Structure 1
Amino acid sequence: MRKLPLAAALTALMLCSAVHAKEHDDKDKKDKPDDKAEAALIKPQSSESEGSVSVEGKRVDYKAVAGTLVLHGSGDKEDEPQISMFYTAYFKKGVEAGKRPITFIYNGGPGSATVWLHMGAFGPKRVVTSDDSHTPAAPYGLVNNDYSLLDASDLVFIDAPGAGFSRLIAHDDDKGKRDEQMKDRRKSTYSVDGDGHAFAQFITQFLSRYGRWNSPKYLFGESYGTTRSAVVSNILENEDSVDLNGVILLSQILSFDNSIDGPQFNPGVDAPYITALPTFAATAFYHRKLPQQPAQLEPFLREVEQFAIGDYAQALMAGSRLDAGRKQAVAEKLHQYTGLPTDYLLRANLRVTGGMFEHQLQNDGGLTTGRLDSRFSGPSLDPMAKDSEYDPQSSAISSAYVAAFNDYVRKQLKFGENMNYRLFADVDHWDFAHKAPGVEGEALQQSTNVMPDLATAMKTNPNLKVLLNGGYYDLATPYFAADYEMHHLPIPDALQANITYAWYPSGHMVYANQDSLKMLHDNVAKFIGETDNVKR
């Protein structure tokens, strides 16, 4: 996945599974009303059920709705159904809906279903996976989620267009016109801005359908979902007049120039190497690959962070002006912090990408280090390669999530019979061009950066609060890169106080570690409780 042009590498960056099970559309069935059940999605569908969950010892009774909302076009196409978006909503019973917080939750991709956050983090049921090793094959365990977020908020899990049971709609009887419709749908939807408007339209339609306009409102996005949240928050605030109470970000990336997956295709941009270094150090610490093992992780990381933004950043900024003696000294310090050989670091010109690090750290034992969660390891596919060629963490847990949700949605939520649940939409040609707030004319053709969107939402709603969560062992979206972005938002200094930070000894999917899941739940529940403006 790493030997790609920059745009393709960035497309691959945010997948919550490095194993992208592409489901190319059958050309004769067209994305596909491939059976009567899917063809029926041109109209809203829903299936209701009831259940209860025990959250940290307290019972929560709920109503569940699994269904779809149909999004329409704009202008002369406002009566034309274009997207059927699947959701699963959980509503706590016995409470006043108008005062009950509601949180809209989605994974990233772009184009990922939201099975990960649903079955791993906040839904009432949680799939059991191994903490840092490959989960054995089926049958998988599905248990009460002691850390479901239903104690603090009603929940709406949303699948991106084309993923899960969500579908793009082409409904013309003429095959040629239907083909053109589907082509237009992909072009307008599979983009930063098209995706953002689809989610914003879904949210406003949901608020109307379920009478939740006066509820405290939150967005929760993971991975590319954080990119989406920045865009959607600005659309809701400044196009739809929907003030949000909070935006909750997990494993953030707002500026794709900060990706450690692609800086070799972007020479002259050294920030990714600087901000990934603490995660390299955390990973080497976990696998005991450091020349001198520190006693504790977090004090060690604070030391590495200071080196990263100090001597290391200065060395990289010097470029070809860096003298040999200083370069040797920096390489030796990097060896102390990463465990990588000094000569390897010198040959890499002090610049190691994520794929290089994942392949090299444990290569002496024939192992590749995980990307989404660097606590994981797996046999290297090619010990002589330059980069890692797969993600051991994705391979370790994806099957459990997919099997558990497919079983759960049909047997307990009573939805999806005779339908195919797609883990990912077919978004090979995702358009990363983005028109930032205030930009006139066409979207700029540049690396995606939605920091201005979040900043605009915060400035136009100065009461908006943000909670940033990240894992120390996340090599897909390193925590220090997220920290860097937040401290470079173009907002007044006073609004920095609206941002709260929380870091966890886990990876990209923080909740894959049960202790971190508890901490994540407690932090998010506290954040909602402090910002929902409900008088108690």
Structure 2
Amino acid sequence: MLGAAGLSLLLLSLPGQAAEKPNGKQAKTEISIPEAKVYQTTGQVRVNGERVHYEAIASETILEDDKDKPLASIFSVTYLRTKTDSKQPRPVTFVFNGGPGSASLWLHMGLFGPKRVVVPGDAKDDGAAPYRLVDNEFSMLDKSDLVFIDPVGTGFSRALGEHKGQDFWGVKEDAQSIAEFIRRWLIEHGRWNSPKYIAGESYGTTRAAALVDELQSGWTDISVNGVMLISSILDFSHARYQPGNNQPYIGFLPTMAATALYHDRVAAADKAMGLSAFVEAARQFAMNDYALALLKGSRLPEEQYQAVRRQLARFTGLTEDYLDRVNLRVSASRYTKQLLRGEDRTVGRLDSRYLGVDYDSGGERNDADPSGYGIDGAYTAAIHQYLYQDLGVKITRPFNVLSVDVNRGWNWSISGKQMHYVNVAPYLGRAQRENRDFRILVANGYYDFATPFFATENTLADNGIDNSRVEMHYYEAGHMMYIEPSSLKALAKDIRQFYQAD
């Protein structure tokens, strides 16, 4: 493991002043590259009934091109367990969030790391500071060393020299830079023979699939033991509403059913069924009568149209009149505005348990996501307080929690030709075929309108994936299911068992 001095040797420090050419003309001024920063601390936390001691390393890693010229600086926080008697190589898990454009603070401060920020578990707003930052008894540090990665343009990570952020903002470009970071980390920490896991959330699951392909392709193979897909999106045809694409209407319907049930917008008999049974009924309707009706389009006989409309009203909690006006097609953005319009309330996108109040009730979509502004204050304060006070970080430039520039500047092409829908699911199927130990865990929130669970099921049922090596888990919460206490406990147990299966 390299200290600050060792890491600084990996830098190519360039002078900031102009050089004089022999003919008397000045050469182009080269851009000065700052020295990589490393901050090391120690700590301990009680996890799963045992005391875990660890070393924390918050650091910048300089990525270089084939001419040793700096490309980018990637900020990460590494946790290495200490004072352990085990002679076996410890697993290491590389963790990131999504966006694209998000730093890794959500999984860091909400699930995996040794500290956790507490937000209301009953879908209420987090309010203002002070917030509670507690020891995380559900941390995975007892099972695996942890590396939280902020991709270029997020957190403190940035392009260097003459390079721009856009050079790294894309499905393939991003996966390549994270793969190079992981390769460098394994070298610096001597961990090539450790079991390796990847955990991603939201777009981070897209990144995870692309990253696995990047790591395991070719002869410099970094084989991965497993991936943890938290609120998964792999095939974007299931989530992008475009004329002629009916997949999202099918994929989102069971989430609408769960939401209608939660907000008491279903019949008493359906409410008595309970969440699991009612959602299963919605699944069956979605992939049979409803899917066929959408496929038939204008060829659908009136009698069948009316029958489908009645069932759609049953599962969504919306009126048949409204469903007529939208031609049996309800987008997620319309639904979160329409369901409680009569009460001047909206429901959340990331977590539809949350309620919001818009400027007025006349619009087509929410002014903002109540499940987003309901937690962001606490997480933003927590990561800043933790980095600067607990880990001793002295970097003064802004920490990008979520970058709009990255998100809007993203290159969605994965084949050299622009594809309308990104689909990285086949990468996971190939990873299974080429690595007999490769396993997949998928965590789904019933109330998640960002990455709906039924769309994930439909994706995994196709794309050459061996579902005997896929674990599917469901939680009565939303996109970030770990903010709800019982879901956090269940998710932590499921992940811990996933590690133990190896």
TM-score w.r.t. the length of structure 2 is 0.90
Do the aligned partners of residues 368 and 51 (structure 1) sit closer, same or farther apart at CA in structure 2, a change above 3 Å counting?
A: same
Distance in 2, Cα, partners of 1:324 & 1:454: 42
Does the Cα contact within 8 Å between 2:238 and 2:247 map onto a contact in 1? yes
User: Residue in 2 aligned with 1:161?
Assistant: 152
- Name 1:19's counterpart in structure 2: none
The superposition leaves residues 223-268 of structure 1 with CA deviations (integer Å, 9 ceiling, x where unpaired) of 0000001110011111331111111101111111111xx31xx222
* Other-structure match for 1:357: 335
Does 2:308 align with 1:294? no
Please state if 1:455 is matched with 2:429: yes
Aligned to 2:182: 203
Conservation of the 8 A alpha-carbon contact between 2:158 and 2:165: no
1:121 aligns with 2:97: no
* Structural mapping, 1:40-59, within 5 Å: 42-59=34-51
Match of 2:353 among 370, 375, 389: 375
Shift, 1:353, TM fit: 0.4
What code does the residue aligned with 2:113 have? Answer: G
> Alignment partner of 2:375: what SS?
helix
Q: Deviations over 1:298-345 (max 9, x none)?
A: 111111111111111111110111122211211111111111111101
CA distance in 2, matches of 1:118, 1:509: 12
Deviations, residues 151-178 of structure 1 (Å, cap 9, x unaligned): 11111111111110111112xxxxxxxx
Q: Which residues of 2 match residues 503-518 of structure 1 at below 5 A?
A: 503-518=474-489
Which residue of structure 1 aligns with residue 457 of structure 2?
Answer: 483
Q: Whole-Å Cα distance in 2 between the matches of residues 369 and 87 of structure 1?
A: 34
What residue in structure 2 maps to residue 133 of structure 1? 124
Matches within 5 A, 1:79-90: 79-90=68-79
Q: Secondary structure at the match of 1:208?
A: helix
Of 184, 197, 214 in structure 2, the residue corresponding to residue 235 of structure 1 is: 214
Partner Cα distance (1:42, 1:482) in 2: 43
Q: Which runs of 5+ in 2 are unaligned?
A: 1-30
Q: 1:40 to 1:515 in 2, by over 3 A?
A: farther
User: C-alpha displacement at 1:40, in angstroms?
Assistant: 8.9
Spell out, residue by residue over 1:116-156, the C-alpha distance to the aligned partner (whole angstroms, 9 max, x if none).
11111111111111120101210111111111111111111
Distance 1:110 1:453 in 2: 19
Structure 1 partner of 2:12: none
Q: CA deviation at 1:515?
A: 1.0
**What is aligned with 1:272?**
248
Is the CA contact 2:153–2:165 (under 8 Å) kept in the aligned structure 1?
Answer: no
What is the CA-CA distance between 1:291 and the residue it aligns to?
A: 2.8
Structure number with the bigger relative contact order (C-alpha 8 A, sep ≥ 6) is: 1
Please provide the CA RMSD for this pair: 1.5
Alignment of 1:47-126 (within 5 A): 47-74=39-66, 78-95=67-84, 99-126=89-116
Amino acid aligned to 1:517: L
Q: 225-234 or 291-300, which moves further after superposition?
A: 291-300
Q: CA deviation at 1:45?
A: 2.2
The code of the aligned residue for 1:81 comes to P
What CA distance in whole angstroms lies between the structure 2 residues aligned with 1:169 and 1:123?
29
Instruction: Go from structure 1 to structure 2 and tell me whether the alpha carbon gap of 1:479 and 1:193 turns closer, same or farther (over 3 Å shift).
Output: same
TM-score by length of 1: 0.84
Look up the SS of the partner of 2:110 in the other structure.
helix
How much does 1:41 deviate?
A: 7.0
- Give me the whole-angstrom Cα distance separating, in 2, the residues matched to 1:71 and 1:381: 46
Distance 1:419 1:444, change over 3 A: closer
Provide the rounded CA distance (Å) in 1 between the counterparts of 2:87 and 2:284: 47
Taking the aligned partners of 2:457 and 2:260, their CA distance within structure 1 comes to 21
Distance 2:384 2:88 in 1: 32
The letter for the 2-side match of 1:146 is E
Aligned pair count reads 465
* Greater C-alpha radius of gyration: 2
Q: What residue ranges of structure 1 are gaps of 5+ in the alignment? A: 1-38, 171-180, 436-441, 532-536
